[in-house]
Structure 1
Amino acid sequence: MSTGAATALAAAGRRLAAAGLSPGSSGNLSVRTPDGYLATPTGHSLHDLTPAGLSVLDLDGEHRAGPAPTKELPLHLGLYARSPQVAAVVHLHSVHAVAVACRVPPDPADVLPPYTPYGVMLLGRVPLLPYAPPGSRTLAGLAGRLPPGTRAALLANHGALATGGSLERAVEAAVELEETARLHLLLGPAAPVRPLTPAQCAELPART
């Protein structure tokens, strides 16, 4: 395991949690290493991340050491397979991004207007992926087919997704995505919302 990468990933998770962008045990991060990937573990709060508590995966995404990885691992691996330039992935359930992801946008290919220079520079166009169950291969497939150059996206009724050529860039994009979503809710016109259907609710396992 890359000690430096593990230290940086754990610190990034704690930073995002301290900023209020990862409620409960939600949210997951990963980083590409020369030997494979490091990912946050399933069912653990980002508040408590330590370098020793990360999941270690090989180049094929197979779990090799540490706790079991996040159930969203297929989503992360789909993004890495899509682009060799992606060095890190951040997936959050931050409140404002989730709120925008529950809306029905005029243009799903670009759901956030260019409000600020920083949003444009860090995010570019932000598409909204159709709803798919968390952790599903369907969701991973949708993410893997994002247009070339996409750095951030919203997952319908689910959350936010950001990538970067470094872990720091991915974290910056995730923070900017939440801030731009907050601006959109403050400035943008009201839009219809999209609740989950009864069928979509029924296929989700209960958590006790």
Structure 2
Amino acid sequence: MSHPHWPATQDAVRADIARVGASLFQRGLAHSTAGNISVRLTAEQGGGFLITPTDACLGFLDPAQLAWVGEDGSALAGARASKTLTLHRRIYAAAPDAHCVLHTHSTHLVALTLQGVWRSDDILPPLTPYQVMKVGHVPLVPYRVPGDAGVADDVAALIANAQRPLRAVMLERLGPTVWHDSPGSAMALLEELEETARLWLMTERRAEPLTDSQTEDLRSRFNAPW
């Protein structure tokens, strides 16, 4: 059964990943060879996962060279998979509704971890209604060396123990990892999160959060994940 927000074929999914990568790069949300994107394929699309190659620049992805791996992570075709494949697979296993995982080293979010986040279980206070409605809680994952398999354990535990469904985590000194039902939806979530971090830093972290009653109103009206 095809996902309602996805193109029907694997080639179309490959093109969508490249489109999202280029958009993030062109707008400065991704840089150099930092960041990665993966998609969980339907059976009709061949099954398994597509993921950007190791050390690939998101701005110049070749759709034909995206790594195609099986459910067990074994290589099926394309270039060598990103070293974050283990993390992506654990997120898919822990969050059944996730169909795209996206990671960047977005400037303002990384700067926030260098300055100090709001709280370890929420890197940002609830500042804007769309942050509350579209993003929800974002816990901090303590620093580990890039590619460390322990990050996957950390993130899987956060997803399993969350009181409300998580859509994002923040890797200390590295950047956000977000997941959603399609590459476009994941990109929109990342944009909202990065913009909220930028606003909080611009206001010198003095902005008053939304009140509990205001966030509860957003939950009741829009099923906000906060």
TM-score range, shorter-chain basis?
0.7 to 0.9
1:9 has 2:17 as partner: yes
Q: 2:130 aligns with which of 113, 118, 122?
A: 118
Retained in 2: the 8 A contact 1:56–1:64?
yes
Identity among equivalent pairs (%): 38
CA distance in 2, matches of 1:117, 1:187: 17
Report how far residue 188 of structure 1 moved. 4.1
Which consecutive aligned stretches of 4+ in structure 1 deviate over 4 angstroms post-superposition? none
1:145 has 2:157 as partner: yes
Kindly provide the amino acid, as one letter, of the partner of residue 16 in structure 1.
Answer: L
Kindly provide the amino acid, as one letter, of the partner of residue 189 in structure 2.
Answer: A
Equivalenced residues, count: 190
For residue 173 of structure 1, what is the aligned residue in structure 2? 189
Q: 1:32 aligns with which of 35, 40, 46?
A: 40
How far does the alpha carbon of each residue in 1:41-70 deviate from its partner, in whole angstroms, 9 at most, with x for none?
111111111211201011112221100011
Structure 1 pair 106–97 and aligned structure 2 pair: CA distance change class (3 A): closer
Retained in 2: the 8 A contact 1:74–1:136?
no
Taking only aligned residues, the RMSD between alpha carbons, in angstroms, comes to 1.5
Task: Say which is worse superposed, 75-84 or 1-10, in terms of deviation.
Answer: 1-10
TM-score (norm 1): 0.86
Structure 1 pair 106–117 and aligned structure 2 pair: CA distance change class (3 A): closer
Task: Say which is worse superposed, 51-60 or 141-150, in terms of deviation.
Answer: 141-150
For residue 185 of structure 1, what is the aligned residue in structure 2? 201
Structure 1 pair 32–137 and aligned structure 2 pair: CA distance change class (3 A): same
Unaligned runs of 5+ in 1: 191-208
Retained in 1: the 8 A contact 2:118–2:124?
no
For residue 47 of structure 1, what is the aligned residue in structure 2? 59
Retained in 1: the 8 A contact 2:131–2:196?
yes
How far does the alpha carbon of each residue in 1:144-203 deviate from its partner, in whole angstroms, 9 at most, with x for none?
11234111121111111111022221111111111111112112438xxxxxxxxxxxxx
For residue 102 of structure 2, what is the aligned residue in structure 1? 90
Q: 1:158 aligns with which of 160, 174, 185?
A: 174
CA distance in 1, matches of 2:118, 2:66: 39
1:68 has 2:84 as partner: no
Report how far residue 102 of structure 1 moved. 2.1
Secondary structure of the corresponding residue to residue 102 of structure 1: helix
Task: Say which is worse superposed, 22-31 or 159-168, in terms of deviation.
Answer: 159-168
Report how far residue 104 of structure 1 moved. 3.0
Kindly provide the amino acid, as one letter, of the partner of residue 205 in structure 2.
Answer: P
CA distance in 1, matches of 2:136, 2:195: 14
For residue 196 of structure 1, what is the aligned residue in structure 2? none
